[in-house]
Structure 1
Amino acid sequence: MKTLLKQLQESAILQMIVLTLYIVITSLSLYLAEKSVTAFLLLLFSLLLLYYTKFSVKIKWALGLFVMIVLLPFTASAGPAYESYMEVATLVGIYVAMALGLNVVVGFTGLLDLGFVAFFAVGAYTYGIFATGQAQNFMPFGEYPLSGESFWLFLVIGGLIAALFGVILGIPVLRVKGDYLAIVTLGFGEIIRIVFNNLDKPVNITNGAMGLSSIQAPSLFGLTLNNSSQFYYVVIAILLFVIFAVSRLEHSKIGRSWKAVRENEIAAQAMGINLVRAKLLAFAIGASFSGMMGVVFAGKQAFIDPTSFTLMESITILVMVILGGMGSVPGVILGAAIMTILNLQVLTELTNWLNQVTQSGAFAVPEALSPAKMQRFIFGGILILFAIYRPQGLIPAKNPVFNEAELKGSAKVGVVEKSEDKVFGS
């Protein structure tokens, strides 16, 4: 058995065969079953298995995109639970993008932010106000609500306005860190929520605690996007952009600056890193991703109110980052997916099963102990266990490894080229 496992770990061909069989079996199970949460989760698990294979990066991305864009929607569409599956998958994408944005602030730069959901709210209200008749109360020109085609423009506008609020938050917190930084960001998140909750007078902008309803659904080439199976592709497209941007930023000059600031601000400043610029960029870039997903959330739900943007949402996103691994892009993706699926599907299905058992008379489960009501208790227990036994997260962050010989060789080539240029006077 050990020999077989060792061969599987070393052979890319065997891994391809096993992974293909696994994907085929789980896809058929999901397609043939009318409703199977287990088959749905097992098919999603294939993406994690794909990450640990020895395939090239291009092959991993190709197979992963095939599973997410083609296989998952097709196999899930055969049963009546299609929209519920797509709802879960869409919300997973939204929370993954927000967790990656928070990872820029917390994981890369080391700035503890407990008010990150405020940027999500800014993006949602930016679209919600103009996609309803609410804008007529204060806009001197234009006709409102705007059409659903404006949604695509508001993805950019929502991201930019959220980035602006990120800079506004970053300026006063440049001189604080640690516990004081957490308190300031917590206060900022609560201030934004309370402002939206009370911004119905003297001019009614946000409709206060009543929230904004009947938000225009996005439309593209005359097609109105009004269900989760359609929003799923929008979220996938934005998520791919976010993953690409974060991955490129991580190994760029600014990404290395963020990590230097995280490790030691004094040493980073001594090396010539502009602390103000690095921190403000981290807040702005992380906030922009959350703002974009806020626009998507508003367009998808068609209703928003201040209760959707509470402190617990910020803490939940922070737990996703910690659970997956601070500073690790694949880890944060995994942590956000696990937390979202656990919250939306696993605990809900477990609660429904216990209710059925109680009604059948097999044994009685007190209502107060239902998994749905003990959600925070379960999340807290998971966080404590990981803090004790896996403090670096599910997939810890890894620093890139460079070949010293190749680097020296490229440097020598550069020196020779420069000397030749001088000889020939070019």
Structure 2
Amino acid sequence: MKTLWNNYKNNKIFQGIFLLVYIGVTSLSLFLAQKSVIAFLLLLTSLLLLYFTNFKNLTKWLIAGVVLVFLLPFTASNGDAYQSYMEVATLVGIYISMALGLNIVVGMAGLLDLGFIAFFAVGAYTYGIFATAQANNFMPFGHFPLPGESFWFFIIIGCLVAALFGVLLGIPVLRVKGDYLAIVTLGFGEIIRIIFNNLDRPVNITNGAMGLASVTPPRLFGIDFLYPSQFYYVVLVILLFTIFTVRRFEHSKIGRSWKAVRENEIAAQAMGVPLVRTKLMAFAIGASFSGMMGVVFAAKQAFVDPTSFTLLESITILVMVILGGMGSVPGVILGAAVMTILNLQVLTEVTNWLNQLSSTGVISIPDALSPSKMQRLIFGLLLILFALYRPKGLLPAKNRKYNEKELRDGSKETKTAITPDPSQLEKAQEV
């Protein structure tokens, strides 16, 4: 068995055949089933199998693009549960993008942030206020709500506004770290939520606890975006941009600076890393991704209120980062997907199944013990298990490995290129 596994692990042809058959079978089962959560999850699992293959990165991205852009929406569209599938996939993309933003702050820069959901709220209210008639209460000019075409500009505006709030958060926390940093960011998140909850007087800006209803849906080429299947592609584009940007930052100069600050601030500062600029960039860039998804969330829900941005949501996003692996982009993607699907589909389906068994008299389970109500207990047990047996997460972060021999050969070539010819030195001396 071990020999067979080693042959499969080192043979790209076997991997390609197995992956092709797996994707084909799961896609066909999802297409034929009217409503099958298992088939939906198995098709998404193909992306995890793809990650562990030995294909080139370009090949992996092309296969993942085919699965996400064509196969998943097409095969899920045959049944009545099409929009519910797309709703789950859309929320998975939103939470992955937010978790990647928090991963920059927590995983790469080592700054514990317990108020990250505040940036999500800033993005949501930025679009919600101007996409409803609420802006007429304090804007002396303009006609509101703005048309749906403005949604595409507000994605950029929400990104910039959230980045600005990230800088405003970063400035007062530059001198604190550890537990004190967690307390300050927790307070910031609660302050933002309370402000939005009470900003209905003396000038009604956010409509307070009543929230903003009837948010204008996005419009493109005369088509209104009203269904999750339409928002799915918007979230997918933003998510691809987020992953590309985070990966570029991870292996850049600023990314190495974040990791240096995470390991030892004093040593990083001694090596010339500017602590103030590095920390502020981590807060601003991480917040910007959350702000963009906040705009999408407000447009998709068509309703914004402060109850969507509680401390529990910030902790949930932090759990996604820890569960997947702090500092690991693939790990955070997997952790966010697992947490979201477990919350939205798996626990809900198990609860419905147990309720059916209770109604038919097969078993008797108290309503207080239903899996959907025991969600936090289940998440807590998962964290305890992973802290004990998988402390670095599902997919731990991996540092780039360099060939020492190649680096030395390269340094020799550089020295050879710099060393001048002795004959040229003699001529220079004669002159």
TM-score bracket, normalised by the shorter chain, equals over 0.9
Give the 3-state SS of the residue equivalent to 2:397 in structure 1.
Answer: coil
1:87 aligns with 2:103: no
Hey, what does 1:276 align to over in structure 2?
276
2:336 counterpart of 1:336: yes
Asked if 1:64 is matched to 2:64, the reply is: yes
Give the Cα separation in 1 of the matches to 2:146 and 2:68.
Answer: 32
Q: Distance in 1 between matches of 2:304 and 2:71?
A: 32
Q: Residue 215 of structure 1 aligns to a residue in which SS?
A: coil
The alignment status of 1:188 with 2:163, answered yes or no, reads no
Aligned to 2:308: 308
The DSSP-based 3-state class of the residue aligned with 2:290 is helix
1:406 deviates by 3.0
How big is the shift at 1:25?
A: 0.5
Aligned pairs (5 A) from 1:45-60: 45-60=45-60
Q: Secondary structure at the match of 1:342?
A: helix
Match of 1:3 in 2: 3
Correspondence list, 1:39-188, <5 A: 39-188=39-188
CA distance in 2, matches of 1:302, 1:386: 37
The 3 A distance-change label for structure 1 pair 138 and 24 is same
Equivalent residue number for residue 202 of structure 1: 202
Q: Secondary structure at the match of 1:139?
A: coil
AA aligned opposite 1:319: V
Whole-angstrom CA distance in 2 between matches of 1:248 and 1:413: 28
C-alpha distance in structure 2 between counterparts of 1:254 and 1:101, whole Å: 15
Tell me how far apart the structure 2 counterparts of residues 76 and 122 of structure 1 sit (CA, whole Å). Answer: 33
Q: Partners of 2:191 and 2:406 in 1: how far apart?
A: 52
Structure 1's consecutive aligned runs of 4 or more residues displaced over 6 angstroms after TM superposition are: none
TM-score by length of 1: 0.97
Offset of 1:413 from its aligned partner?
4.3
Shift of 1:3: 2.0
Displacement of 1:6 after TM fit? Answer: 1.5
What is the alpha-carbon root mean square deviation over aligned residues? 1.5
Q: Aligned residue for 1:381?
A: 381
1:286 aligns with 2:286: yes
Separation of aligned partners in 2, 1:175 and 1:190: 21
Q: Point out the more displaced range, 121-130 or 6-15.
A: 6-15
Change (3 A) 1:266 1:356: same
Match for residue 264 of structure 1? Answer: 264
Separation in 1, partners of 2:281, 2:12: 40
What amino acid is the match of 1:74? F
Aligned equivalents of 2:24 and 2:4: distance in 1?
A: 22
Q: What is the identity, as a one-letter code, of the residue corresponding to 1:25?
A: V
Matched residue type, 2:240: L
Q: Distance in 1 between matches of 2:143 and 2:410?
A: 60
Query: Gaps (5+ residues) in structure 2?
Result: 425-431
CA distance in 2, matches of 1:219, 1:407: 53
Larger Rg: 2
Matched, 1:214 2:214: yes
> What is residue 318 of structure 2 aligned with on the other side?
318
Secondary structure in 2 matching 1:44: helix
CA distance in 1, matches of 2:372, 2:341: 13
SS at match of 2:112: coil
Deviation at 1:146, TM superposition (A): 0.4
- Which residue pairs with 1:237 in the alignment? 237
Name the SS of the counterpart of 1:154 in structure 2: helix
Query: For each residue in 1:8-60, what CA deviation from the matched residue of structure 2 results, as whole angstroms up to 9, or x when unmatched?
Result: 11111101111111111100000001110000000000000000011111111
Which string of whole-angstrom CA distances, capped at 9 and with x for unpartnered residues, describes residues 122-177 of structure 1?
Answer: 00000000000111111111110001110010000001000000000000000001
How far 1:402 moved relative to its partner?
1.5
Letter in 1 for 2:87: E
- Aligned-residue offset at 1:401: 0.8
Query: Structure 2 vs 1, CA of residues 136 and 19 (structure 1 numbering), >3 Å: closer, same or farther?
Result: same
Partner SS for 2:110: coil
Which residue of structure 1 aligns with residue 429 of structure 2? none
Tell me, yes or no, if structure 1 residue 296 matches structure 2 residue 296: yes
| Alpha-carbon separation, structure 1, partners of 2:276 and 2:87 | 40
Q: Which amino acid aligns with 1:231?
A: F
Counterparts of 1:4 and 1:284, CA distance in 2: 48
Q: Tell me how many residue pairs correspond in the alignment.
A: 424
Secondary structure of 1:158 counterpart: helix
Distance 1:420 1:41 in 2: 64
Q: Which amino acid aligns with 2:162?
A: A
Give yes or no for the alignment of 1:31 onto 2:31. yes
Match of 2:19 in 1: 19
Letter of the 2:89 counterpart: A
Structure 1 distance, partners of 2:307, 2:420, is: 67
Shift of 1:380: 0.5
Equivalent-residue separation in structure 1 for 2:27 and 2:319 (angstroms): 31
Q: Quote the residue 1:351 is aligned against.
A: 351
